[in-house]
Structure 1
Amino acid sequence: MHPTDDQLVAAYLEQGDTQAFRQLVERHQERIYGYLLGWVRDPEVANDLFQETFLRVLAALRQERASYTQQGRWLAWVMRIARNAALDYLRSRRKWHNVAENDLEEGATFWDRLPDEAPAADRELENAELQALLADCIERLPPEQREVLLLRQEAELTFREIAELTGVSINTALGRMRYALINLRKMMVQRQKQLATE
């Protein structure tokens, strides 16, 4: 039987069990790294932010032992810290307002990290093209819509957790997700039409 996140946190806080903390990191690293990569689109920067996130997590656990237990679910609490690290980075680079306008850089996006069923070569090529198209469209979403999409799809947070994390109502979070999906559909159709005429 696998220990819960709360049990692992308790083992770390009460017994100094570093293996328990390592288990927590390994259990959620794909989601947290994927969320960060979805924002910064640079694997090296995402890795730096991932490490920065867990340095902040360790510091917060040592200094404010009660803060985690009051916040609730481990992943949502860590995602709040990851979000702050990403926003600090984006603000320092003055990318927050124009992040959706930048061209897609080469390298893996979080969509590339999703498991695949290894289809035939022609399907593989088509899937790669669709993934690249989707990633490009996601990059062009308004930052608020993009963030909700990343938190829901990559971190698998509930809309209540997303609302708390981003400081908005649940209806606003749901609305942002709805508009993100509507905008993605429109952009995908437009881009496919453009590609068909080229």
Structure 2
Amino acid sequence: MIRNTTTPDSLLISKYINGSEFALEVLIKRHQQRLFSFIYSKVKDRDVTEDIFQDTFIKVIRTLKKGRYNEEGKFLPWVMRIAHNLIIDFFRKSNRMPSFKNTDEFDIFSVLSDGVFNAEKRLINEQIHADVRSLVDELPQEQKEVLLMRIYNDMSFNEISENTGVSINTALGRMRYALINLRKLIEKNKIILTH
């Protein structure tokens, strides 16, 4: 028997993987308000929000069915990260190319020097992000969790506090130590963050 409020997410996930559709329903109902509000706060459009919300859970279901979900992170931050990536995809698709005013001052070189068009800069940026991401994995679990929620999921410290079950001050402290430790790791590994 699945009780809506007391069954932990991890147990619901394993029940769903083992064939309980109801377990997934409970998971979706439990998190739909937070997730919907999060998506809506970014896109400010109800129809787009509903589309992204559905796409998020389609990805969640596919990942769970393929057995690719790992218990490392909590369920909600993982779902929020999927939604966040879909929101970014939505904005990329709707603004694929920068718009230019057709004036005498229009300068093709200003477009060519733009980071969007500069493949070398983009590769360097991607490498920097990959380097930093691998260093984040070296942080203690509590610090890593707060950092990922704040930076990658764009969650407020209030939301982080609710998700992790710690006070806002503890969440802030963990973030501070995560940044201090990250700085030390960057220096130790001699990673250059500018190009």
Q: TM-score scaled to structure 1, two decimals?
A: 0.49
Bigger Rg, structure 1 or 2: 2
More helix by share: 1
Higher relative contact order, structure no. (Cα contacts within 8 Å, ≥ 6 residues apart): 1
